[in-house]
Each structure stands twice: as C-alpha cells, then as structure tokens.
Amino acid sequence: PTVSAKHGIIEASLPSGESVAVYLYGATVTSWKANGQEQLFLSQKTHLDGSKPIRGGIPLVFPVFGPPPQNHVTSPLPQHGFARNSTWEFLGKSSSEAGKGDLAVKLDFGLSHTMLSEEFRKAWPYEFGLVYSVTLTKGALRTSLQVTNEGKENFEFQVLMHTYLSVEDISNIRVKNLESKTYIDKTRNATSHTESSPALAITGETDRVYQGLDPATPIIVSSASDDQPLFSITREALTDIVVWNPWIEKAKGMADFGPDEAYQNMICVEAGSVSSWQTLEAGDSWEGGQSIKSRL
C-alpha cells in the first residue's frame, strides 16, 4: 500500500485498484475507489478550503446531530457539531493482512480539545480525544471513531457518519432491511412512523432517522433493475440509520450542492447514534463504526 500526504490530503491505495482520499479538514473522506471506480458522491460545488464543511464524501458528525437542541450544552455549536469543520491531524498508517491474501491499509486521524478553535472550545468545554480510523481493503471501506473522555466530568454526545453514496440514478435504487423499523420523518414535522416497505424507493425529499436497528443486519442499497446489491453497510455500536436525499428544491437551495440535478446521483445512508445521547464517564472510551461493501 502507498500513502501520500500533501496539501492537507492523505491518500492511500492498494495494488488491487482500491484507493481512498481523506482531507485533514474534518477528517473527511472525499474519495473511495473500488476496482478503480468512485463510490462516493462529492458535490462539484463543494468548498474544500475549510470555509464550510465538505458537501459529500463522509463528513463526520460529532458531538451533536442536526441543529443542536435548545437549553443544552451543545446549543452554541453549529449544525452537526464541530468535528467536520475542525482540522485533524494525521496520526499515521498501518498495513495488515485482510485475509485471503488481501491487504488492508488503515489511516488514523486525531482531534482533541486542545486542537479546537477558541469558539468551539468555549461552546463545548469538555476534555476529549477522538481517533478516527479509515480502513481500506479490497471492495470495502471501514470508518470507526473512538471517543475518549479525558476530563473529570461526564459528557454526552451523538455521532454519525454522513456518508454520501454515489448512484447512477436515484430512481433505480432501493434501500432494504428497513422494513418494520420505526423512523422519525423530518419532512413530516419529525413525526414517528413504521417502515412498511421491504425495499424503500426514493421518490421525493427524504429525511428519515430509522431507530434501534441491529447494527449487524446490513442495510442494502440495491439496483431496482436487477435487484443486485450496490452497497451493503454493517455497523458496530451505531444503532440508527439516516436516509437523506434533498430532491429538487432543497438541492437547488444549497449553494454548495451542484449541479442542481445531482440529487439524482447520490443517496445518503448515514450510520449513527443520534436518537439519544451516549454518556461517557470521566476516563472512559467509546467506539463505533461502519463497514461499507461495494459490489464493484
């Protein structure tokens, strides 16, 4: 495996044609190629200069998902918290055997309270350490986050990996294994519903938080035309899945989302722990992650 670091971008590749690129800004994965083909969506109008969170790839949401609640310790933070708009450090890479003679290359990134901007440190005054690992193997990408409470008081957090998957045509994909699950529909005043479809089609703005899923049951993004799985996502310790597509109007309304019709080429399937709060006691650590397999 080769790894290169320049201009705040860490890249790694495997002889089998897999590659990954990670911006130190937000530790945001911006590219994952399997078999030489890009698997993630990245808006053509995304900022990449740190002026705004990257629109695409896998933005990292921590310590709060969505707009922070009122009268809460996270209230002063921006939407989705500070992890995706802070500059992380590259801690290093390691290579290992991934079985069947395949290689794995793991890139580690770190963010701690001492590295935060004054604004963010004041807004969320806890002593913490984050280690984000991005592991590339043949046909799969794993991202996992370890959260450590380095202070003397407990804190609570939410975490989510805001994965933008690249699809050829949104009308030809289905999302499977959500049937009978409870979800909060943010396009219908955050009301609670039960999923009735074994294969969810995306036919308009979709913004749903599916709750309490078995992390080992893969969420499948499949092709409707041949019922083949395109992506299969399993998780560890992340029991919620957010399904989001902005559709026509919201896509037009985001200045950094382009071209406007690109809503047809992406689906966000986001592994997280967001429907409640994880409490981390002083000195304790928590870890959670996702593994995305690509059919290609």
How many other β-carbons are positioned within 10 Å of the β-carbon of residue 151? 15
**Type of residue found at 60:** L
Q: Provide, rounded to whole angstroms, the least separation between the CB of residue 31 and ligand TA6.
A: 18
For strands 199-201 and 229-236, give the pairing: unpaired
Q: Is the bond preceding residue 259 a cis peptide, omega within 30 degrees?
A: yes
The single residue of 11, 38, 89, 162 carrying the catalytic annotation is 162
Q: Is 174 a known ligand-binding residue? A: no
Whether 168 sits among the annotated catalytic residues: the reply is: no
Q: Which position's Cβ is nearest ligand TA6?
A: 244
Closest CB to ligand TA6 among residues 186, 295: 186
Q: Residues in the site for ligand TA6, rule: CB under 6 A?
A: 53, 66, 79-80, 162, 186, 207, 242, 244, 268, 270
Gap between the Cα atoms of 233 and 217, Å rounded: 8
**84 assigned to a ligand binding site:** yes
Nearer to ligand TA6, 57 or 215 (CB): 57
Q: Which is nearer to ligand TA6, 17 or 258 (CB)?
A: 258
DSSP per-residue string spanning 3-15:
EEEETTEEEEE-T
235 is in an annotated binding site: no
Q: Report the candidate in 179, 236, 187, 180 with the shortest Cα–Cα distance to residue 207.
A: 187
Q: Which of 118, 156, 249, 270 is catalytic?
A: 270
Taking the C-alpha atoms of residue 283 and residue 152, their distance in angstroms, rounded to an integer, is 7
Q: Which is nearer to ligand TA6, 53 or 68 (CB)?
A: 53
Please state the closest distance from residue 186 (CB atom) to ligand TA6, in A: 6
118 is catalytic: no
Contact status, residue 197 vs residue 205, Cβ threshold 8 Å: no
Please state the residue numbers annotated as binding site: 55, 79, 84
> Catalytic site residues?
162, 270
